[in-house]
Amino acid sequence: MQLYCKPIIDLKFTIEYNFFIMKNKVFIKISFAALLAAIICISGFIRIPVGPVPIVLQNVICLLAAAILGGFYGCIPTLIFLLAGLIGLPVYSGGTSGMAVWLGPTGGFLAGYFLGALATGLICGKPSVTEKKLSKTVIIKVIVAFIIGTVILYIPGIIHFARWAENAGKVAADKSVMAYTMACCVLPFIPGSIIKLVITIPVAIKLRPVAAQYLQ
């Protein structure tokens, strides 16, 4: 009788153990996403007003979170942050929130945060502990992910700002809408974006294998 019971007991133990491990992994993933979402929210209070579109850290922190977690999962912290602001929590740039921010001049960049994070996470892929040994492939992959993510982040912001500027009558008669938009949304921010990428890309490369130890 004991010989027949032992395989059943072993199978039950294996199922319970795997279920426990699975539950722990889900909890760890949720914890990572919540922590990075909180960092994104806090970074919103750091901004430099320079006209209709301020200099912020949130854009690059969204990309950093995506690169660390990798894959589709990488955009979850940004999604949590966006939803938190949408329901009224003061987590958007400068402690703002609500639909009014989405409809304002910078609203398109909020959508860009999510799309940029999604692209960055998918290009980086899931992190691996093997990335502790730096290789050209890993470095190039992360750099390309950040650059493409940044470009994608800007696209909905530019489109939305152009529409807002035209409807609000902000464009002078002797200027085109696109020229005004580029002058307000893109050109002044290129040096700062480069600096932010130079700082955050090494951080992402360093933290990806650390995150992999807990997420795999």
pLDDT of residue 132: 82
Q: Tell me the CA distances in angstroms from 180 to 110, 131, 184, one per residue in order.
A: 20, 43, 6
Give the three-state DSSP class for 48: strand
Tell me what percent of the residues of the chain surpass a pLDDT of 70: 89
Q: What is the CA radius of gyration of the chain?
A: 22
Domain count, the chain: 1
CATH (domain of 115)? 1.10.1760.20
pLDDT of residue 55: 81
Q: Is 204 or 24 the better-scoring residue by pLDDT? A: 204
Give phi and psi for 174, each to the nearest 5.
-90, 10
Tell me what percent of the residues of the chain surpass a pLDDT of 90: 67
Give the pLDDT confidence of 14-65 residue by residue, as tens digits: 444 344 444 577 888 889 999 999 999 999 888 877 767 778 899 999 999 9
Query: Do β-strands 55-56 and 47-48 pair in parallel, antiparallel, or remain unpaired?
Result: antiparallel
pLDDT of residue 94: 87
What value does the mean pLDDT of the chain take? 87
For residues 194 and 170, what is the distance between their CA atoms, to the nearest angstrom?
A: 28
Q: Tell me the CA distances in angstroms from 21 to 10, 25, 28, 35, 130, one per residue in order.
A: 16, 6, 10, 21, 22
Q: Per-residue confidence at 121, pLDDT binned at 50, 70, 90?
A: very high
Residue recorded with tokens 């492939």: 137
pLDDT of residue 75: 96
pLDDT of residue 12: 46
pLDDT of residue 103: 94
For residues 83 and 201, what is the distance between their CA atoms, to the nearest angstrom?
A: 26
Is the CB of residue 109 less than 8 Å from the CB of residue 85? Answer: no
Give phi and psi for 191, each to the nearest 5.
-60, -45
Give phi and psi for 48, each to the nearest 5.
-120, 110
Is the CB of residue 74 less than 8 Å from the CB of residue 66? Answer: yes
Q: Is 141 or 50 the better-scoring residue by pLDDT? A: 141
Nearest partner of 102 among 122, 116, 88, judged by Cα: 88
Give the pLDDT confidence of 147-202 residue by residue, as tens digits: 999 999 999 999 999 999 999 888 888 889 999 999 988 998 999 999 999 999 99
For residues 54 and 95, what is the distance between their CA atoms, to the nearest angstrom?
A: 13
Q: Domain residues for 20? A: 2-215
Residue recorded with tokens 């949408």: 86
Lowest mean pLDDT among 39-48, 71-80, 104-113, 158-167: 39-48
Q: Is 2 or 72 the better-scoring residue by pLDDT? A: 72
